[in-house]
Amino acid sequence: MSICLTHKSTVVGVDVHKYCHSAVAMDCFGQEKARLDFSNERLNDYVLWLRELGDKEDIIVALEDVNGYGFHIVERLSKEKVGMRYVPAILTERERKKSIHREKSDYEDAKRVGKVILTKFDETLPAKESIADENERELSANLDFLTAERRILVHEKTILKNQLHTMLHQIFGDRYGEGFPKVFHKEAIKSFRQKLIKAKFDNPIMVALAGSSIRRFDRLALVEKQLKEIDGSINNIGQKSEAVLALSDNIHGCGIITAASIIAEVTTISRFCDKSKFARYSGIAPINKSLGKHQRLYTSPFGNRKINRALHTIALCQIACKGDDRGKIYFQKKLAEGKTKLWALRCLKRQISNKVFQALTEQKRRERTIQNS
């Protein structure tokens, strides 16, 4: 569903909370038309209130928080086919800072969310729930839950390993890892646990240290088991998804897990009108800060960092020893032009971003052709 801002548009800014939400409706000039407080249990009242504001095609709902407390609102509005747009929190914060009156209330925040749509429409994105089909939303939600849990487990696994490195060094000395290909190899872990269980320390501190190490080994085993289960689930879903396969089959260095993390954030490529919009959303497009004849480009710290991280992983795989020849040639070409290694890597990430957009766009086009035939 295409969402456009016209002179007939009514923008409804919503300040989302856990139990109670505040909405302010404004015309295209920013003049307030109506306001409403409602809860998740009174979403019917909210929908009726929206209908009283005018035609559905002219209403644009602006939401700042849609992944957490705004979940129920989004689900209901998507069923009603109401146009929604995401408003990044940083834009709302900027709207507050540049305002002469900086009062902080639910209605003021809702109004600021709506004014972002009126003043910075091009910097917002249509809500994926309002333009993605049911299959795309279901796939994105499943992958989002799985990849989010996987990130937490990987982080926990890293913490456990770092702690065990320190503790094993204190117990067994500098050469605790000798005799094993890796410190956390299956045989190494088994050996360490047996030694810690059988060892009899005279120092009570070492006894406590050994017990703590054993418990961490047990938690590490549980985390690795859960990671294996999650990877299996992601692979099963990815093998059945045309969008995931479009990335993993056509882009060197993009495996099922990496492709799934991208699809979980993108949901549908229809949200982006061109590859430049997608690159900016991903935080790949540089920030231009120019004055007169001085042209300067800076790395963007904004954008979706999860997609950015996935593209970074693909870029590193392509320039590795067993990577993609085309990626290596492009990377070396940028180095020959005088760019630093980090900036050359950013240039490669932009090319990968364009390739991701192209692959998903072609897959979406094929899907529509099949549906129409």
* DSSP string across 121-182: GGGSEE-HHHHS-HHHHHHHHHHHHHHHHHHHHHHHHHHHHHHHHHHHHHHH-TTTTTTSSS
Same domain, residue pair 148 and 232: yes
Please state, rounded to an integer, the average pLDDT across all residues of the chain. 89
Domain boundary among 239, 265, 290: 239
State whether 46 and 124 are in the same domain. Answer: yes
Is 4 a member of any domain?
no
For residues 260 and 357, membership in a common domain is answered with: yes
214 residue type, one letter? I
Series of mean pLDDT values for 10-residue runs along the chain (373 residues): 79 90 92 93 93 90 77 87 86 78 82 90 82 86 94 97 94 88 90 88 87 95 97 96 94 95 93 91 85 77 90 95 89 94 94 96 91 79
Is 3 a member of any domain? no
E strand map for 289-338: 297-298
Considering the domain architecture, whether residues 160 and 199 belong to the same structural domain is answered as: yes
Global pTM?
A: 0.85
Are 191 and 259 within one domain? Answer: no
- Establish if 126 belongs to a structural domain: yes
pLDDT score, position 65: 63
Q: What pLDDT, on the 0 to 100 scale, is given for residue 45?
A: 93
The residue to which tokens 């490195």 are assigned: 165
Q: How many domains does the chain have?
A: 3
pLDDT computed for residue 67 by the predictor? 61
Give tens-digit pLDDT for 158-215: 999 999 999 999 998 888 888 888 899 999 999 999 999 888 888 888 889 999 999 9
d(CA 154, CA 135): 28
Instruction: With CA atoms as reference, report the closest residue to 265 among 88, 144, 129.
Output: 144
Tell me the residue range of the domain where 32 lies: 10-131
Residues 6+ apart with CB under 8 A from 270: 131, 132, 364
- Mark which of 106, 131, 156 sits at the end of a domain: 131
Report residue 328 as tokens.
């290596």
Same domain, 110 and 141: no
pLDDT at 2: 59
Residues 324 and 288 in one domain: yes
Of 234, 25, 3, 8, the residue nearest 111 (C-alpha): 25
Per-residue model confidence (pLDDT) at position 177:
85
